[in-house]
Every structure is written in structure tokens, then in C-alpha cells.
């Protein structure tokens, strides 16, 4: 039986996938893991082999390899994307769960919060979270920032007794904008290369625009927190009773500040150092002629791998917890097991989201959108924003949206007689790639599960906040291009 032609159109397949995932989670109350897998199976079944072959050819595979990939069974293709996502985030989530549990149980998070409050005061604490997460998000992946900062948000909420949603939104607002606007994040790095934008200019303008967008996000977060306040909830890895007991302790019963920040600081320092060394080596060749220094730098780059960096942070966290629990009869096994049980659930849901997004990409949805917009005679800045937004919403990855949109627009930016610098097109693509996070986005699930927000709560708060920030960025870009063309 031959299916009607429209059933193989990527737009139709996308709509089917959306209906199954959203309808399954919200309407049928299915567990997200099941809904995402069902959506992935439906998308994979509807995708013709020719589309899969073309997708793999566009990724640089040979004709034989692309044909072989297209002939794989539906189950094998889904399992491959599921495994690829696990490979990217599995160790990160597991070790981040251990770090968070150790920091909460040892009192390290409480110590950091008390020290922060001495500097900012209670009222300015959310603003400190906002700025801190933005600058952490420049060298560190979005999910890593969420893993490192969410335990602090839980401890802070228990300390001040309010504003949990505000703190969660501040953390996510800062990290998510840095990830798409400021190199050396992967998306912006590809973008500046593809569109021939000076990396220094992108870093400066991306930072300035990022500060404007997170200001808009902060205003929305204040409104959302007032409109729909969400309380801190019990979870396996962060029981409210334990956090409350820690908050009641005297300063002398808590770890020192330097030891408290070490589990989070070690991954941050090594990842940042590795990012800097990679960027420097790429542009300047050999970093040093000294054999000894090269060995030190090789060691830094070894620990700068995000997986190894998080493992190192986790080991320090366990030492911190062991010191705190040395007089307790309860061993550390139960604490680690609780963290891994929580992290395992996040890994499964996130990997299922990655499988769903991967199946959508194989339909050729990005190429379909590119074909639909290639003759669209709109002003280039909003066009850049629109293309990135549609690609992001369709397949879930902000990085893929950045790569797709910059590939479409690179030629137009080079050949068109622009009245402004192409960096504004790059910034517009970065802002557009924030719209709209939902169930096909792995980051959406990380935010949900690390913060204990329900899917509906995240769709009502986190997702619209990113829309507000994205459009605030677009307005700022168009004003800046008009008055400060940089040419």
C-alpha cells in the first residue's frame, strides 16, 4: 500500500510528532519517556528512506554509508540517537546529580548561600543568580550551568522561604542566552566561521545583547513568580527536611567556603581553561616551546574534558560529604544511590527527547524550511530571526538552528549590499534560536527535572520567558543596526 505523498512531507511528520508528544503528556498523562519514544517511533515510521539518505549525505557521509544508514530499521535508528544523546549527557547528569547531592547534604550549598547573602542581601539574590549564570554560560554548556546552580537555588529558597520560581528562571535565563550569543559556545563559534564575522566582535556584541535580553527575562521572571508562585518541592535527591535541617545549622557546623565551592569550581575552572587553550591553539598554533609547560597544558586539557571535569568535581564532592558525615553511622552509599536514581530518570527522559529530535532532523525538516524561505523577500535581520526560530521549534536544538540559519544566510550576507555589519545577522540568528523550547528539546527536560517543575509549569514559565527574551533581542538588534551600523 502506497501512502499519500503529503504523509512524507517533513511538515506533516512534524505535526504528527507534536500531536503525539504534547497530546500524550498533557492529554493522556503519559510519562514523558513513553510519550517521547512513541513520538520518535511515529516520526521514524513516516520518514522515507530517501529523506534519511539525503540527511546523511548532507552530514558528509559517503553514498554507501548514507544508503546503509537509510536501510537501518526504525528501532535501530531510534536506539542510535538515544545512545548518542546518552553519550553526550549521561556522565554529565550522573556526576552533576552526585555533586548537587553532596553539596546539599554536606552543607556546602548552605555555606555558599549565606556568603552570597552577606554581599547581595536577600532582595538582590535573584539578580546575582541571573548575572552569575550568564557569565558561567559563556565557557560552560547550558546543561552544566543548570546542574551546578540548581542546588544553590534550592538551598537559597529554603533560606529565604520564597521566590523559588524566580531563582530557577534567573538561572535558566542567564545560561540560555550566553549559549547562543557568545563564543566560544559551539553554535556561535560555527556561526562566526560560516558568516565570516570577527570572533572578538561577536563576543563583545553578544555579551552586550545578552545583558539586554536577560534584563527582559528578569522582568518576565518577576511577573511569573508573582503570577504563579511555585514552592520548593520534595525530591529524592533534595528532600526538604534535609535542606531545612541544614539551614538551621550554625556557621561552625558548615564546611569552609573554599571547600564548599570546590566541587563546582573544579569543573568550571578546567572547562574554561580548556576552552581558552583550544581557542588559542587553533589561532596561534603551538602554545609554547617548553616541554614541561606543554605537559602541564596537556594535563589541563585532559581534565578540561567536560566528562572528566565533572567526575573530578564529583570525587571532591564525595570527599566533602565524607568529611561532613564522618561521625554519622549512615554511610555514603545511600546518598549516592539517591542521587543516581534521580539522575537516571533525567538521563532517560533527556535521551528520549534526543531520539525524538534526531528522528525529526532525519525527515529533512531543516532543508524543507530552508527551501520555503529562500525566496522570501523580508528584511534580512527579521528573516534571520524567523528562520532560526522555525528550525529551533521544529527540531529542538538551538545549535542546529544556528548552524542551519547561518548556512542559509551566509551567502546572502556576503553578496548583499548591507547597510550594517553582518554581526547583526548573527545576533538575530542567535536570538531566534531560543524560540520555542518544548518537549523535543533536551534542555527543556533538564530544566524540568532538575528544578522539579511539571511540564505544564515549564511551558507556562520557562518557554514564554525565552520568547520574551528573543523578541527583546530582535528589537535591540534592529535599533542598534539602524543607529550603530558598525561599517
Of 89, 136, 60, 134, the C-alpha closest to 357 is 89
DSSP assigned state of 235: B
Q: How far apart are CA 233 and CA 227, in angstroms?
A: 18
8-state DSSP, 111: H
Do residues 104 and 90 make contact, with C-beta atoms less than 8 angstroms apart? no
So what's the pLDDT on residue 15? 83
Q: What pLDDT sits at residue 224? A: 95
Bridge partners, residue 238, by sequence: 235
Q: What is the CA radius of gyration of the chain?
A: 23
- What contacts 387, CB < 8 A, 6 or more positions away? 369, 370, 373, 404, 405, 408, 409, 429, 432
CA–CA dist 486, 424 (Å, integer): 9
Distance between CA 71 and CA 47 in Å, rounded?
A: 12
Q: Burial level of 332, CB count in 10 A (0-12/13-18/19+)?
A: middle
Q: How far is CA 114 from the centre of its chain?
A: 28
Locate the domains of the chain by residue range: 88-343
Q: What is the pLDDT of residues 300-350, one digit of tens each?
A: 888 888 788 888 988 998 888 888 776 565 667 777 787 787 778 778 877
Residue 429: predicted pLDDT: 92
Q: Torsions phi, psi of 235, nearest 5?
A: -150, 160
**Does 187 or 142 have the greater pLDDT score?**
142
pLDDT, mean of residues 117-131: 82
pLDDT digits (tens, 9 = 90+) for 78-96: 999 899 888 877 887 788 7
The pLDDT, as a whole number, for residue 385 is: 92
The number of angstroms, rounded, from the C-alpha of 118 to the middle of its chain's C-alpha atoms is 30
Closest CA to 392 of 338, 343, 428, 342: 428
Which sign, positive or negative, has the C-alpha torsion 91, 92, 93, 94? Answer: positive
Q: How confident is the model at residue 377 (pLDDT cuts 50, 70, 90)?
A: very low
4: pLDDT strictly greater than 70: no
Query: What nine digits make up the cell of 315?
Result: 570525587
Report the range of poorest mean pLDDT among 146-150, 364-368, 431-435.
364-368
| Span 404-409, average pLDDT | 69
The rounded mean pLDDT for the chain is 80
Closest CA to 214 of 466, 459, 479: 466
Q: What phi and psi values does residue 480 have, to the nearest 5 degrees?
A: -65, -40
Higher-confidence residue of 255 and 122: namely 255
More confident residue, 296 or 282: 296
Q: What is the pLDDT of residue 237?
A: 57
Distance of CA 7 to the CA centre of its chain: 32
Q: Which residue has the higher pLDDT, 218 or 354?
A: 218
pLDDT digits (tens, 9 = 90+) for 443-460: 888 888 888 888 889 999
Evaluate the omega torsion of the peptide bond into residue 184 and state whether it is cis, within 30 degrees of 0: yes
Asked if 270 contacts 303 with a C-beta cutoff of 8 angstroms, the reply is yes
Residue 1 pLDDT > 50, yes or no? no
Amino acid at each position: 500500500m502506497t501512502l499519500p505523498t503529503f504523509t512524507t512531507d517533513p511538515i506533516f511528520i512534524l505535526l504528527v510528532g507534536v500531536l503525539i508528544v504534547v497530546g500524550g503528556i498533557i492529554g493522556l498523562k503519559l510519562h514523558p519517556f513513553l510519550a517521547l519514544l512513541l513520538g520518535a517511533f511515529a516520526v521514524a515510521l513516516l520518514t522515507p528512506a530517501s529523506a534519511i539518505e539525503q540527511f546523511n549525505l548532507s552530514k558528509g557521509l559517503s553514498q554507501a554509508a548514507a544508503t546503509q544508514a537509510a536501510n537501518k530499521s526504525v528501532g535501530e535508528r531510534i536506539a542510535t540517537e538515544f545512545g548518542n544523546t546518552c553519550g553526550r549527557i549521561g556522565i554529565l547528569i550522573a556526576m552533576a546529580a552526585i555533586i548537587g547531592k553532596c553539596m546539599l547534604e554536606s552543607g556546602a550549598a548552605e555555606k555558599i548561600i549565606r556568603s552570597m547573602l552577606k554581599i547581595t542581601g536577600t532582595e538582590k539574590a535573584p539578580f546575582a543568580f541571573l548575572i552569575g549564570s550568564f557569565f558561567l554560560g559563556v565557557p560552560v554548556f547550558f546543561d552544566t550551568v543548570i546542574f551546578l546552580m540548581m542546588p544553590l537555588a534550592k538551598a537559597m529558597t529554603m533560606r529565604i522561604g520564597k521566590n523559588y520560581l524566580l531563582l530557577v528562571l534567573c538561572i535558566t535565563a542567564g545560561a540560555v542566552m550566553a549559549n547562543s550569543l557568545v563564543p566560544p559556545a559551539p553554535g556561535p563559534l560555527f556561526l562566526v566561521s560560516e558568516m565570516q564575522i570577527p570572533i572578538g566582535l561577536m563576543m563583545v556584541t553578544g555579551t552586550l545583547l545578552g545583558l539586554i535580553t536577560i534584563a527582559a527575562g528578569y522582568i518576565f521572571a518577576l511577573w511569573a513568580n508573582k503570577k504563579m508562585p511555585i514552592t520548593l518541592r520534595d525530591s529524592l535527591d533534595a528532600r526538604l527536611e534535609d535542606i531545612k535541617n541544614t539551614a538551621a545549622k550554625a556557621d561552625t557546623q558548615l564546611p569552609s567556603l573554599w571547600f564548599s565551592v570546590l566541587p563546582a569550581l573544579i569543573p568550571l575552572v578546567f572547562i574554561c581553561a580548556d576552552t581558552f587553550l583550544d581557542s588559542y591553539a587553533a589561532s596561534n598554533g603551538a602554545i609554547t616551546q617548553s616541554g614541561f609547560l606543554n605537559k602541564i597544558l596537556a594535563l589541563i586539557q585532559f581534565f578540561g574534558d567536560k566528562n572528566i571535569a565533572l567526575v573530578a568535581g564529583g570525587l571532591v564532592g564525595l570527599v566533602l560529604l565524607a568529611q561532613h558525615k564522618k561521625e554519622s553511622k549512615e554511610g555514603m552509599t545511600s546518598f549516592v544511590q539517591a542521587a543516581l536514581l534521580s539522575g537516571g530518570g533525567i538521563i532517560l527522559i533527556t535521551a528520549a527527547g534526543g531520539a525524538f529530535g534526531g528522528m525529526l532532523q532525519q525527515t529533512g525538516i531543516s532543508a524543507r524550511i530552508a527551501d520555503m524561505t529562500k525566496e522570501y523577500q523580508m528584511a534580512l535581520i527579521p528573516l534571520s530571526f524567523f528562520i532560526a526560530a522555525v528550525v529551533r521549534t521544529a527540531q529542538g536544538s538551538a545549535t542546529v538552528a544556528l548552524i542551519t540559519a547561518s548556512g542559509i544566510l551566509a551567502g546572502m550576507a556576503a553578496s548583499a549590499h548591507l547597510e550594517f555589519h553582518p554581526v547583526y545577522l548573527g545576533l538575530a540568528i542567535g536570538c531566534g534560536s531560543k524560540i520555542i523550547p518544548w518537549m523535543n528539546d533536551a534542555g527543556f527536560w533538564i530544566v524540568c527535572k532538575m528544578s522539579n517543575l511539571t511540564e505544564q509549569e515549564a511551558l507556562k514559565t520557562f518557554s514564554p520567558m525565552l520568547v520574551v527574551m528573543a523578541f527583546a533581542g530582535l528589537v535591540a538588534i534592529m535599533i542598534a543596526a539602524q543607529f550603530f551600523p558598525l561599517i
